[in-house]
Amino acid sequence: MTNFLQAVVNGFGQGSIYALLALGFVMIYKATRVISFAQPALMVVGGLVTYHASAVLGLPFFVAMIVGIIGGALVGMIVERLALRPMIGKPVFTLAIITIGVDTVLRTLNNRYIGVESRIVTYPNGNARYELGGVSISHQDLGLIAITAVTVTAMSLFFRYSRTGLAMRATALDQETALAQGIRVGAIFALAWGIAGGLAAIAGTFIAAGPAGMEQTSWIIALKALPAIIIGGLDSLPGAVIGGLSVGLVEALTAIYQPDVAPWLGRNFSLVAPYALMLLVLLVRPYGLFGTKEVERV
């Protein structure tokens, strides 16, 4: 039982990272109907800006993280302006492939910065752990879960009550009608990419603060947000959070139980378990758990 609870706690920690990334994917998808494959690179950019601010410039962790968020948001906006704005109105598939190209370029530059060593951001008091009934959680995971909860709440309040949030919802519903109401749709696109870049930067910061730090191969973590958004449904913000957390949980639980229960699945199956879960969910619900079913006009 303790094992199980510990796995759940670990899963929530890792799941928060996926949830943040998934929120970014869904933000961009809702605004522009594009899945951004540049998210992994943006995550690494954010993590590296935080690293540079904290380890090289010597800023405290949370200040450095804010610098990282701003950096990630700026890079996201630049990508949108340079690579995606000229393509408005083109097929979404083309845009998705453009983001793959952007990702390749950004990732090479990131790897240039990272080099061979892993870049580790030190979280204040990160190794100390809270204990409760045999289950323990590190300060860092607790901070991550808290920050994710705050971010998600802030985002939902922003969409619900602010004028800009309303404009974003209107754009997601119908771009032309939104344009006719005087909403600057271009600015909304930039904002969506900015928010997505910022969210990815938080995720990147906590990956850099994690046990392995930010390495050349860390970008692959961000791709696990893809099963998360598919499970939750591409256009659902609550779905993204739930999807992200469930991917984290599934990963943690398979890591503990799969070697004993189903050893024939091979070593490290937990790393690909989210993709298997995604296939299962899609076989039952082709638009994810909370996604809107596409209506076909003939």
Partner 1 sequence: MSITGLRGRPLVRTAYAQDMALLDSPAKRKSTLLIVLGSFLLPFMLTDDLLLILTLGMISAVGAIGLNLVTGYAGQVSLGHAFFIGVGAYTAAIIGGDPEGPVVGYGLPIYLWLPAAGIVAALAGLVVGPIAVRLRGLYLAIVTLGLVFLGDHIFREARSLTGGPGVGRRGPDLTAFGIDFSTTNTVLGVELAREQLQFMLALVFLVIFAILGRNIARSGVGRAFSAVRDRDVAASVIGVDLTKYKIMAFAMSSFFAGVTGALYYAVIGFFEPAAFGLTLSITYLAMVLIGGVATISGSIMGAIFVTALGRISGGIAGIIPGISQNAGSGGFISVFQLESILYGLLIVVFLIFEPRGLFGIWNRIRLYWKGFPFSY
According to CB under 8 A, which one of 2, 94, 125, 153 is a site residue for partner 1?
94
Q: 58 to 87, contacts with partner 1 by CB under 8 A?
A: 83, 86-87
Determine if 96 is a binding residue for partner 1 (CB under 8 A): yes
The single-letter code of the amino acid at 83 is A
> In terms of Cα–Cα distance, which of 209, 171, 174 is closest to 191?
171
Beta strands in 38-186 (DSSP E): 129-132, 135-138
Burial tier of 157 (Cβ tally within 10 Å: 0-12, 13-18, 19+): exposed
CA distance 12 to 236: 20
CA distance 202 to 208: 10
Least spacing, CB of residue 65 vs partner 1, in Å: 28
Bridge-based pairing of strands 129-132 and 135-138 is antiparallel
CA distance 255 to 33: 34
Stretch that binds partner 1, among 117-125, 190-198, 200-208, 277-285 (CB under 8 A): 277-285
Residue 108, Cβ neighbours under 10 Å: how many?
10
According to CB under 8 A, which one of 2, 3, 108, 125 is a site residue for partner 1?
108
Which residue lies nearer to partner 1 by CB, 44 or 64? 44
Which residue lies nearer to partner 1 by CB, 165 or 259? 259
What is the maximal distance between C-alpha atoms in the chain?
A: 60
According to CB under 8 A, which one of 56, 63, 88, 109 is a site residue for partner 1?
109
Binding-site string for partner 1 from residue 117 to residue 136, where x marks contact by CB under 8 A and - marks none: --------------------
* Chain residues that interact with partner 1, rule: CB under 8 A: 35, 83, 86-87, 90, 92-94, 96-98, 100-105, 107-109, 111-112, 115, 223, 226-227, 229-230, 234, 265-269, 271-272, 275-276, 278-279, 282-283, 286-287, 294, 296, 298
